[in-house]
């Protein structure tokens, strides 16, 4: 999953969550393949960011799944508190899900 400024979105990308306009109105559901018409409409309604499936755009600051998992291990190195370790597990599940479609 990636959340991108509207200018980065191209037809064919799939929404990961609903697209909502500035007044809270839903413009498009989740899992929808975006078309040129969608993008025009989003622009008209002042949408700034859209969350799409996968990691379609290479962002210079974005890490790969391997880098993310490695960083996670490092941040939790030597930690034995069971609650913190549970948080680590949850994060791992979250990351695997986030990077699933790539």
Could you tell me where the beta strands, DSSP code E, fall in 21-73?
Answer: 26-28, 49-52
Contact 54, 101 (CB under 8 A): yes
Is position 100 an interface residue for another protein (rule: CB under 8 A)? no
Is position 2 an interface residue for another protein (rule: CB under 8 A)? yes
Least distance (Å) between residue 53 CB and another protein = 13
Provide Rg for the chain, Cα atoms: 17
Which residues contribute to the site for another protein (CB under 8 A)? 1-5, 17, 20-24, 46, 49, 51, 59, 61, 68, 71-72, 74-79, 81, 83-84, 86-88, 90-91, 93-94, 98
């Amino acid at each position: 999953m990636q959340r991108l400024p509207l200018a980065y979105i191209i037809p064919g990308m799939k929404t990961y969550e609903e697209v909502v306009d500035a007044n809270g109105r839903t413009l498009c559901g989740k899992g929808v393949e975006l078309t040129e018409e969608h993008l025009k409409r989003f622009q008209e309604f002042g949408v700034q960011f859209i969350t799409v499936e996968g990691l379609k755009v290479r962002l210079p600051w974005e890490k790969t799944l391997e880098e993310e998992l490695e960083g996670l291990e490092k941040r939790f190195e030597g930690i034995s508190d069971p609650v913190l370790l549970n948080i680590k597990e949850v994060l791992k599940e979250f990351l695997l899900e986030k990077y699933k479609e790539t």
